[in-house]
């Protein structure tokens, strides 16, 4: 066991931190207030290789290992959670899924494009009536000649309005008891695909969540990702990877919130003393720190497991459960440390509090992570746990 960064990872970390603090942090407030994705930042991120972070060099990627990739998302999230999630969705849900399941032709066509930022990726899985249970999709993939017609609608498609490429999940065999799903690579300008309105959100206002309509959208069979009927397994594997990246994002925003709380408490005086000297405030700070350090080891270990090619379902669920809980706890307590100022938009902690709330929902709600963890503990005893 080695708890040191390699020399290469130290170098990456300083590059990521520099980029996040110089390019992302100064635009975080504007991104939130204007409710617009930071396109200029994304363009610069592509030039640094961050949009093909874990792709191999032959696909024009940066070839990062998953622990280093986690550090990238963590540093971005310290500066702006919306930006971190745009990048994490693009990399973990889209680029890595094509790398894992795409044919050589699909990889050759789409991966260099994604790595260069010529197309931003989006992942269209959930529907109005299919959320945690995404086996029940009503979007249909109807076989026709040498392709499919996609019919239906998707909700909460993050990156929707800025995406050039969508992975769309649809039922190709509605009789297969919820498991007859297939995945498709659909370019944004494909006739029949319409990116519709954006849902107003509590936080993460730089991350657009759009409704997507598929109105007899014709996709050639060559654009099916993986085998017919493999869609459920593809979505599950993509979500495991994404949950680990969300852990990095939770780590970053929690660290930034704690730093803001510590700074504020060391400047604010009440009753003739710094509030840092009040035990109630110290308790908030210490509890936040302990939770963050617990999350850190779960996240770094899960990144390492990914690089070993291990099954990460349980590790990803542990990370995701703790990610949502820690980010919510820390941002809430740091608002309290700020007192009334914490409720003012003038202080970044208000944005962090709104943004962090999403981490218990996006990528699968916390309750379902508990089910996954319980399932893996009861499995050896032969006790079946159903969601």
Give yes or no for a contact between 359 and 257, defined as CB atoms under 8 angstroms apart.
no
* Smallest separation, CB 329 to ligand FAD (Å): 17
Least separation in angstroms between CB 319 and ligand FAD: 16
Minimum CB separation of residue 362 from ligand FAD in Å reads 4
Closest CA to 191 of 156, 218, 167: 218
CB count within 10 Å of CB 229 equals 15
Smaller CB separation from ligand FAD, 294 or 387: 387
CB of 196 to ligand FAD, least distance (A): 14
User: Which residue number has the CB closest to ligand FAD?
Assistant: 131
In this complex, which beta carbon is closest to ligand FAD, that of residue 125 or of residue 352?
A: 125
Specify the residue, 48 or 135, whose C-beta has the smaller distance to ligand FAD.
Answer: 135
The sign of the CA dihedral 189, 30, 353, 259 is positive
Instruction: Tell the smallest beta-carbon distance from residue 116 to ligand FAD (Å).
Output: 22
Residue in 194, 265, 204, 189 with CA at minimum distance from that of residue 28: 204
**Helices H, strands E: what count in the chain?**
12, 10
- Residue identified by tokens 């709380």 is 261
- Crossing angle of helices 81-88 and 39-47, in 10° steps, is 50
Tokens standing for 235? 């979505």
Which residue's CB is nearer to ligand FAD, number 59 or number 126?
126
CB of 335 to ligand FAD, least distance (A): 20
Handedness of CA 248, 249, 251, 255 (dihedral sign): positive
Kindly report the number of other CB atoms within 10 A of residue 42's CB atom: 20
Query: Given the DSSP bridges, would you call strands 120-124 and 163-171 parallel, antiparallel or unpaired?
Result: parallel
Per CB under 6 A, residues contacting ligand FAD are: 89, 123-126, 131-132, 156-158, 204, 209, 358, 361-362, 364-365, 367-368, 371, 387
Nearer to ligand FAD, 185 or 337 (CB): 185
Listed in sequence order, the DSSP H helices in the chain are 7-19, 28-34, 39-47, 66-79, 81-88, 96-101, 104-115, 231-265, 279-307, 313-338, 348-356, 366-378
What's the closest the beta carbon of residue 219 comes to ligand FAD, in angstroms?
A: 18
Closer to ligand FAD by CB, 48 or 366: give it: 366
Give how far Cα 279 sits from Cα of 263, 265, 275, 340, Å. 16, 11, 9, 19
Select 251 or 358, whichever has its Cβ closest to ligand FAD: 358
State which residue, 150 or 362, has the beta carbon closest to ligand FAD.
Answer: 362
Q: Which residues pair with 198 in a beta bridge?
A: 210
Nearer to ligand FAD, 17 or 375 (CB): 375
Least distance to ligand FAD from the beta carbon of 77, Å? 13
Q: For the chain, report the end-to-end CA distance as a whole number of angstroms.
A: 35
Shortest distance, position 149 Cβ to ligand FAD, whole Å: 20
- Tell which residue, 25, 92, 40, has the closest CA to residue 252: 25
Give the shortest CB-4-to-ligand FAD separation in angstroms. 35
Q: Whose Cβ is closer to ligand FAD: residue 158's or residue 258's?
A: 158
| Interior angle at CA 249, CA 345 and CA 20, nearest 5 | 70
């Amino acid at each position: 066991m080695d708890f040191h960064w390699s020399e290469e990872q130290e170098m990456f970390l300083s590059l990521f931190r520099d980029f996040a603090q110089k390019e992302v942090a100064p635009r975080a407030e504007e991104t939130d207030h204007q409710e617009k994705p930071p396109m200029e930042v994304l363009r610069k991120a592509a030039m640094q290789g961050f949009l093909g972070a874990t792709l191999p060099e032959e696909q024009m990627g940066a070839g990062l290992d998953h622990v280093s990739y986690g550090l990238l998302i963590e540093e971005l999230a310290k500066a702006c959670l919306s930006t971190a999630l745009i990048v994490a969705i693009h990399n973990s849900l889209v680029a890595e899924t094509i790398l894992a399941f795409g044919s050589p032709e699909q990889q050759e066509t789409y991966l260099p494009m994604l790595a260069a930022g010529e197309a931003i990726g989006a992942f269209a899985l959930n529907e109005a009536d299919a959320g945690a249970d995404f086996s029940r999709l009503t979007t249909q993939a109807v076989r026709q000649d040498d392709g499919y017609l996609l019919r239906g609608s998707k909700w909460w498609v993050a990156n929707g309005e800025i995406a050039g490429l969508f992975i769309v999940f649809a039922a190709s065999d509605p009789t297969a008891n919820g498991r007859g799903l297939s995945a498709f690579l659909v370019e944004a300008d494909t006739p029949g695909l319409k990116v519709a309105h954006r849902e107003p959100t509590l936080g993460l206002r730089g991350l657009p969540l759009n409704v997507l309509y598929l109105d007899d959208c014709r996709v050639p069979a060559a654009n099916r990702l993986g085998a017919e009927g493999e869609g459920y397994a593809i979505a599950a594997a993509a979500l495991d990877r994404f949950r680990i990246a969300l852990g990095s994002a939770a780590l970053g925003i929690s660290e930034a919130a704690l730093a803001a709380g510590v700074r504020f408490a060391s400047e604010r005086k009440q009753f003739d003393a710094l509030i840092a000297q009040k035990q109630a405030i110290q308790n908030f700070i210490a509890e936040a720190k302990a939770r963050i350090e617990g999350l850190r080891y779960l996240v770094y270990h899960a990144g390492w497991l990914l690089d070993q090619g291990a099954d990460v379902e349980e590790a990803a669920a542990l990370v995701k459960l703790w990610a949502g809980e820690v980010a919510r706890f820390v941002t809430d307590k740091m608002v309290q440390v700020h007192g009334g100022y914490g409720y003012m938009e003038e202080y970044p902690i208000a944005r962090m509090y709104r943004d962090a709330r999403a981490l218990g929902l996006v990528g699968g709600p916390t309750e379902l992570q508990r089910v996954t963890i319980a399932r893996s503990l009861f499995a050896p005893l032969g006790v079946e746990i159903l969601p």
